[in-house]
Structure 1
């Protein structure tokens, strides 16, 4: 019974992580367009984003990282549903890693303006260095529907709360 609770939490966490690339795939192109429009407003060539491989879509790590987490959570959930002895051990290992990874995601979201500003300066492109980063990120963020912010908060709650419940479940 306790392993089943852990498995259910792990499947919810997997779904929460899969939601990241789905949302970015659906609304990322609009965010890129909005960011490019903001760059134009600032007198900066919109092409500078593409020239520096900057996108808001589900390319690269925006897909493989959350899908990998979802796959691992699903595999560990399967072990827990099957009552396999490794389920509990792997739950402890991977839930801690998921919590740490999600904490990094949350931190990067909260420090996005300073991180992007620093990254733009490090790119060495004089145009990127002139970008009003808060306005740039706000334009991109506003291209996503309002419910995405709520979805992000629910995802964080599921990941943190579900991980805690999974660990407690396999520990009892």
Structure 2
């Protein structure tokens, strides 16, 4: 396998998941695929400039994050609907305890998941990015700061304001 093939095979799934989440639920598979491909081409071209100041995966995530945000801005006006896709367990809003839910419970759970996805998609870009990296990709605040190029305090602040907005947008879920 070539070095480029090794780079892609080692990181493709996580980069695909990150790009998909940043672009949002309305992104087509082609948009995600094209952006992921562009990420790896850009990383390959920039590889000689990788200084090793951070982990390689952090450097690659920064490239992926920046390219996905650029693509998101390009297609911002097209984000009109929210598609159904599974959320990571650590952000699910499912309140079900019964392993075999009734159809009504299942429908309610799906509505909660769609509402959460729509609320995350509606966050300002910088807040959405830190939420996705921290909660979906399990990056520490220090790692998120490295990926997006800001201080840890800024990451904490963006997480705080994003969570506050999410709580406000999803207040009806707590009353249900």
Q: Same fold (TM over 0.5)?
A: no
TM-score, normalised by the number of residues in structure 2: 0.29
Q: Which has the higher contact order (CA 8 A, sep 6+)?
A: 1
The answer to which structure has the higher helix fraction is 1
